[in-house]
């Protein structure tokens, strides 16, 4: 096995090891970190990658992303999967979860097949860890940019067919838990080790609490596509947003693009929940990394027209957002510069926390025995290099 060493300021969850080094072994098929700490290993044994004066962080992990670089995972082609993975690698992402939209069943099953083909094709982009199913079991009242045509109730025969078709490929599923059959689905997901998350939901606190008791442990794109405090006959009832704080064990994910949530709310979520309970996500669509103008959310066949303006995708009437065009480096930069979060916690929300949520046990931290996944960047979170499973998948020219 070849031995490599990266020199730089090593970012761990608790501290920055100034002028440190991380050593790893890689043979093309596997990789693992063998040392992290102060510089003391003999350089002659290693291929030295010197980024002194730069941050060396765990590879960024995006557990909710639809596409980028002009590609959407719902396009259903290997080229789209690899193209999006390549775009996000250039922004520091070493691992991602291709995320679906509400769609016909045949398109969904095709995504499973294409993931397998993409995994068996040479990939010079981010590692495709597994699928995040977003829908089709959502509330019409909170559908956002999801196509209402394909919304369904979670009937056992239907979701069992999907789970069996995607066995070993599905890592998380976002569902509206107030729908009939959703509690049973949550219990099934928990049994199978799949993250059950609440999204595009009109649930109130009591329903959120029941959902938690049935295995739902996270809120999808916190504040977006979910209920807030409502008033009925003069009485006030807390919704999902309030539930995210009232139920301490709920994890949340946020689109920290500075558009979906302003800086004040990013600060509030971080200070209230803490870095260990908040995952940063891009929720990026195909327009990520592209110029402003017209784009398509979803597949080229069944997607909807959106417009990229002001750092976000907007629906045609400009009355609501139609998706994010964020990249992982932008999220971390915003948490540091807009939300005043220290670099260790900002990185943790883009690495260790998402890794825990979707059970990627050997990713998300720079520690002995973990995969050799790294993102190297400067003080302004400009990406210099991205390494996934010991392979360089991006290097700034």
CA atoms within 13 A on the CB side of 143: 16
* Pairing verdict, β 170-175 and 131-134: parallel
- Is residue 377 within 8 Å of 43, Cβ to Cβ? no
pLDDT at 28 over 80: no
Predicted TM-score (pTM) of this structure: 0.97
pLDDT digits (tens, 9 = 90+) for 346-384: 999 999 999 999 999 999 999 999 999 999 999 999 999
- Is residue 320 within 8 Å of 99, Cβ to Cβ? no
CA torsion through residues 145, 355, 265, 175, sign: positive
Distance (Å) of CA 239 to CA 126, 206, 231, 358: 36, 9, 10, 25
Q: What is the pLDDT of residue 180?
A: 98
- Is residue 311 within 8 Å of 288, Cβ to Cβ? no
**Which band of pLDDT confidence, cut at 50, 70 and 90, is reported for residue 33?**
very high
* Pairing verdict, β 47-58 and 16-26: unpaired
CA torsion through residues 32, 35, 36, 40, sign: negative
**Which band of pLDDT confidence, cut at 50, 70 and 90, is reported for residue 29?**
confident
Tell me the mean pLDDT in the region 58-72.
98
- Is residue 226 within 8 Å of 192, Cβ to Cβ? no
Q: What is the mean pLDDT of the chain?
A: 96
Query: Which residue ranges form the domains of the chain, and what is each CATH number?
Result: 2-57+379-395 (2.30.40.10), 60-363 (3.20.20.140)
Q: What angle do CA 11, 25, 64 make, to 5 degrees?
A: 50
Q: What is the pLDDT of residue 159?
A: 98
The continuous run of DSSP H or E covering 4 comes out as strand 2-11
DSSP letter for each residue of 82-124: HHHHHHHHTTTEEEEEEB--S--HHHHHHHHHHHHHHHTS---
Q: What angle do CA 129, 302, 257 make, to 5 degrees?
A: 55
């Amino acid at each position: 096995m070849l031995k490599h060493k990266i020199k730089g300021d090593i970012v761990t969850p608790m501290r920055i090891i100034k002028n440190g080094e991380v050593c790893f072994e890689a043979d093309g098929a596997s990789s693992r970190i063998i040392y992290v700490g102060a510089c003391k290993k003999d350089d002659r044994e290693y291929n030295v990658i010197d980024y002194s004066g730069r941050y060396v962080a765990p590879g960024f992990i995006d557990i909710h992303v639809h596409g980028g670089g002009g590609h959407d995972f719902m396009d259903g082609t290997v080229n789209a999967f690899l193209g999006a993975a390549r775009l996000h690698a250039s922004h520091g992402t070493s691992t991602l979860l291709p995320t679906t939209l509400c769609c016909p069943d045949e398109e969904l099953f095709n995504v499973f097949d294409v993931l397998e083909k993409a995994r068996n094709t040479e990939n010079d982009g981010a590692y495709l860890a597994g699928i995040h199913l977003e829908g089709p079991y959502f509330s019409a009242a909170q559908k956002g940019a999801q196509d209402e045509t394909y919304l369904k109730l979670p009937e056992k025969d239907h979701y069992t067919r999907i789970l069996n078709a995607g066995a070993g490929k599905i890592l998380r599923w976002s569902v509206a838990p107030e729908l009939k059959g959703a509690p049973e689905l949550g219990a099934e997901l928990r049994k199978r080790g799949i993250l059950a998350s609440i999204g595009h939901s009109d649930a109130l606190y009591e329903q959120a609490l029941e959902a938690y008791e049935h295995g739902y442990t996270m809120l999808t794109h916190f504040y977006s596509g979910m209920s807030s405090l409502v008033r009925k006959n003069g009485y006030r009832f807390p919704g999902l947003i309030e539930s995210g704080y009232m139920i301490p064990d709920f994890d949340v994910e946020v689109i920290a693009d500075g558009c979906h949530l302003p800086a004040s709310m990013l600060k509030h979520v971080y200070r209230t929940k803490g870095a260990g309970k908040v995952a940063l996500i891009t929720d990026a669509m195909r327009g990520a990394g592209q110029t402003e103008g017209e784009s398509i959310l979803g597949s080229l066949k069944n997607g909807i027209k959106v417009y990229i303006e002001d750092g976000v995708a907007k629906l045609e009437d400009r009355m609501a957002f139609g998706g994010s065009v964020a990249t992982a480096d932008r999220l971390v930069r915003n948490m540091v510069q807009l939300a005043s979060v220290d670099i260790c916690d900002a990185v943790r929300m883009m690495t260790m926390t998402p890794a825990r949520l979707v059970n990627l046990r050997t990713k998300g931290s720079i520690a002995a025995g973990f995969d050799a996944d790294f993102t190297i960047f400067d003080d302004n979170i400009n990406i210099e290099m991205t390494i996934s499973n010991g392979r360089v998948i991006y290097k700034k020219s």
